[in-house]
Amino acid sequence: MNRLLVMRSFVTVADLGSFSAAAKALYTSGSQISRHVADLERQLGVRLVNRTARSVSLTELGVHYSEFARRILDEIDAEDQVIRQARDRPEGQLSIISPKWIGLLDLGDAVSAFAVAHPKITVRLELGGMSDRTYDFLDRGFDVAFHTRDLQDSGVRLKQIADLRFVLCAAESYLVARGDPKSPDDLADHDFLVHANDSTWQIGEARYNVLRGVHPVAFLANSYLALLKAAVHGRGIALLPRRSVADYLSDGTLRAVLPNVPVPDRPLFAIYSPGRQTPEKVRVFLDFVTEWFAQAPVPGEP
C-alpha cells in the first residue's frame, strides 16, 4: 500500500464529502478512491468514514486522522515546492571535479570567473583523483566532472565545452643544440617529454601522422606543469597545452616545433547526471564556462 497515496485520497474525500468528487479531483475512479480508503481503514484497524447511499461523513477518529494526514501532506507539498524552487534557482553548492592539468589552467580561470559572477552559488572544485568509472563522480557527490575524452556512455549527460589547443614546443637552447626538426619524420632523432596518460601524439594533416609509443622518452610525468618545467630547462620536445606555454612562447623561452604542421585540438567535455530535469545551477554553470572558453582567447593567438 502506498501510504501517502491513500492518505491523499482519504483527505480529498474528507474535504469534498464525496468519493466521486474526490475521484474527479484526483483524476481517477470512484472505485479506486473507495479501495484506498478501505485499505487505510484496514491498515489502521478503525472505521474512518461512514458511508450511506446519499452521503459520506467522517467518524470521530476519521476527523482526527484527516487533520493529521492533512498536516503531513501539506508539509510534503511545501517541501516539494522548496526543492523545485531550489532546482530552478542558480544557488546552493556546486561540486566540480576535474583533471589537475586542466583545472590548474583554463578551467581554473573559468570556474573562478563563474564564482565571481554567481555569488549565491558556493563552488567546490576538486582537482585530480578521478576514476575511469563513469558514474563515480556522482557517487562521490559531484555535480559535474570534466574529461578530455568522449566517454560514450548514454547513462550520463555530456556536453562539449570547448576545444583545447596544444602545441609542440621546446626550449631555444635545446633546438640550438639538437637542431630544428623540418618534418615529422625528423622527430625520431629527438628527446621527448611525455605525459604518462598521453603517450600517443597526433600531428600532421587530415588523417594525421600518429607517433605511437613516443620514444625515446627523456622525461615522463603525470603533470603538464612538470613537463613544462623540463621543456624550459632544455630537456627535450613536449606536447603541451597552448595556454600553459603562451608566455614562454611570447618571450622566446620556448619555441614552437614544426609550427606549420597542425596539432589536433583536444575536446573538453562536461558530464553530469542523467534525467530530464537538470538543476539550474548546473545549467547556468555549463552555459557560463562554454561562453567563457568561446570568448577567452589563448594569449598570443588571434
Which are the contacts of 223, defined by CB distance < 8 A and separation ≥ 6? 100, 101, 195
Alpha helices in 93-207 (DSSP H): 100-103, 106-117, 136-139, 172-178
Domains of the chain: 3-88 (1.10.10.10), 92-162+266-295 (3.40.190.10), 166-256 (3.40.190.290)
Low-confidence ranges of the chain (pLDDT < 50): 302
Q: Residue 175: name the closest of 257, 260, 262, 240 by CA.
A: 257
Query: Is the Cα torsion angle 278, 282, 284, 286 positive or negative in sign?
Result: negative
Nearest 5°: CA angle at 260, between 199 and 175?
65
> What does R_g of the chain's alpha carbons equal in angstroms?
31
pLDDT value at residue 233: 95
pLDDT value at residue 228: 93
pLDDT digits (tens, 9 = 90+) for 90-118: 778 999 998 877 777 778 889 999 999 99
Alpha helices in 104-251 (DSSP H): 106-117, 136-139, 172-178, 224-232, 242-251
Tally Cβ neighbours within 10 Å of residue 292.
Answer: 20
CA distances from 23 to 11, 16, 104, 198, 268 (A): 12, 10, 59, 63, 52
pLDDT value at residue 97: 92
pLDDT value at residue 240: 92
pLDDT value at residue 88: 58
Sole residue written with cell 607517433: 211
CA distance 286 to 302: 25
pLDDT value at residue 301: 62
